[in-house]
Structure 1
């Protein structure tokens, strides 16, 4: 079987190659110039453009691109699993469904499973990596699909951002209007609900919002590995890592830079934590 991810998983290109994961890439437009995610532009470049006052715009993968990919992959294998960027944040998932239905008319015996991850960044990437481990261990197609579906019910995303207004203007924030006033020195805490970013708490200062993250990890009995993704906020990410290792059952933490597409919507100062609840 062939595992497919998109660039919003934030997995680096070299890691995708090592794991034999196929990838479709969203695009980013800045000042009328279009860039392919992770190919033509880096996270650092996107964040610098934002610092300079530019507003990156992102574009979903269209059905024609998916149709071409699926037809190409079916020449190699009859089983394809695509774990998609949240349908609540992009139309990419829907594009893939349209393409799959067209392709299956010509290849009715093929298996093309598409899972809406309702996830973003390393919330998606972590699940893709675990699915890849199952594929590489020789698990059957049906078992990989079943276990991946279960993973997607237990992955957790916690975010804090320095500029909630920037996130809201990008249109990817749900239920955010009540949080937009009086945010001076306030750090909001967000999670993912039905695939959309939703503010859930306000905290005065970084220390308190990180403590709230830690408490939620404890409450859900999380253990093992966690990922932290950040956008020009390495110091805060390192503080969160120290707290996780000192105060929770998490015993491995990997810190990553948020990918170009996701960074286009979060802006600078974002720190996100991803883990599986017990």
Structure 2
């Protein structure tokens, strides 16, 4: 029996992908104008960015215990070996909730094989890990082997982020409001990366063109065998920037493939419109 893959909406893969690959989908939630909405089901990323541009404050929340209970119990009752690739535990309580519900379900179904991997990844870095897990499942690999391979893959995933407007990071407490104000005046564009699951400031650069050139330099410094990788780009409702970045990556590295999608509502609610993120591996798998 193939291992069943479970993922949450913070992986920023299009919802159609889950149906095509028979992956269980767990939506995180956003609160907008007092209404609780399920990511990708009740609301799409562009709606979030449009609302943020108009001044709306967006709050996010993890997948609910009930959502986990329903998915895990259904799979347990069918005795389907399963693996859940979770959003970084440093950015959401979703992983911790999943572990709690897993223990509850195992009390009723002690033979249920369910592994939960804390990806320590976000957006399409997380999404590439889900794709990798799904590919391994489709090839018939056993649960333990998939778990080990996905954990190794996630450790090698690089995330390089930049944002267009520092104000949104200030709202979320990532930087001070004074820094955001001064940065805006000076056209400062921060580069951030993910370190052990946390979003960490890396550099401050003046102007978008210089930021893009610096991203290419970082990819050269950190990436391994980029010509044989699928590199992912996610964007906060800025397709033009994503296309420009894609062209620069193609010219520099000629990768096997470049996958582009929105930064989803959950991450985008904190990073804001104009966010651009690049994901690649720093070692071979």
TM-score greater than 0.5 by the shorter chain? yes
Deviation at 1:62, TM superposition (A): 2.4
Taking only aligned residues, the RMSD between alpha carbons, in angstroms, comes to: 1.5
Sort the Cα spacing of 1:231 and 1:36 in 2 relative to 1 into closer, same or farther, 3 A: same
Contact 2:30 2:60 in 1 (8 A): yes
8 Å contact kept, 1:245–1:252: no
* Inter-partner Cα distance in structure 1 for 2:78 and 2:207: 53
Q: Give the direction of change, closer, same or farther, for the CA distance of 1:87–1:179 in structure 2 (3 Å limit).
A: farther
In the alignment, the residues of structure 1 paired with residue 26 and residue 17 of structure 2 have an alpha-carbon distance, to the nearest angstrom, of: 14
How many angstroms does 1:182 deviate by?
2.5
If the length of structure 2 is used for normalisation, what is the TM-score? Answer: 0.92
Secondary structure at the aligned position of 1:115 is classed as strand
Paired residue for 2:182?
A: 182
Deviation at 1:180, TM superposition (A): 4.1
1:33-90 per-position Cα deviation (integer Å, ceiling 9, x unaligned): 1111101111111111101100111111122321222001112333111111111111
Q: 1:150 aligns to what SS in structure 2?
A: helix
Does the 8 A contact of 1:179 with 1:199 survive in 2?
no
Q: Which aligned pairs between 1:241-252 and structure 2 lie closer than 5 A? A: 241-252=246-257
Match of 1:101 in 2: 103
Q: How many Å apart are 1:194 and its aligned residue? A: 2.0
Partner of 2:114: 112
Which of 145, 148, 155 is residue 146 of structure 1 equivalent to?
148
Partner of 1:12: 14
Give 2:270's aligned residue.
265
* Cα deviation 1:205-238 (Å, max 9, x = unaligned): 1111111111111122241210100012222211
- The answer for the alignment partner of 2:131 in structure 1 is 129
Pairing partner for 1:239 from 244, 260, 266: 244
Counterpart in the other structure of 2:88: 86
C-alpha distance in structure 2 between counterparts of 1:113 and 1:164, whole Å: 38
* Larger CA deviation: 60-69 vs 207-216: 60-69
For 1:229-264, what per-residue CA distance to the aligned partner results, in whole angstroms no more than 9, with x for missing partners? 001222221111111111125242122111122221
* Kept in 1: contact 2:235–2:276 (CA 8 A): yes
Q: Pick one of 57, 72, 75 that aligns with 1:73.
A: 75
Normalised TM-score (structure 1): 0.94
Kept in 1: contact 2:167–2:181 (CA 8 A): no
Other-structure match for 1:54? 56
Task: State the shift of 1:165 in Å.
Answer: 2.8
Q: Distance in 1 between matches of 2:169 and 2:79?
A: 40
The alpha-carbon deviation at position 16 of structure 1 amounts to: 0.9
Question: Matches of 1:142 and 1:120 in 2, distance apart?
Answer: 23
Structure 2 unaligned residues grouped into runs of 5+: none
SS at match of 1:182: helix
1 CA distance for matches of 2:205 and 2:192?
A: 11
> 29, 32, 35: which is aligned to 1:30?
32
Deviates more, 1:245-254 or 1:226-235: 245-254
Corresponding residue for residue 229 of structure 1:
234
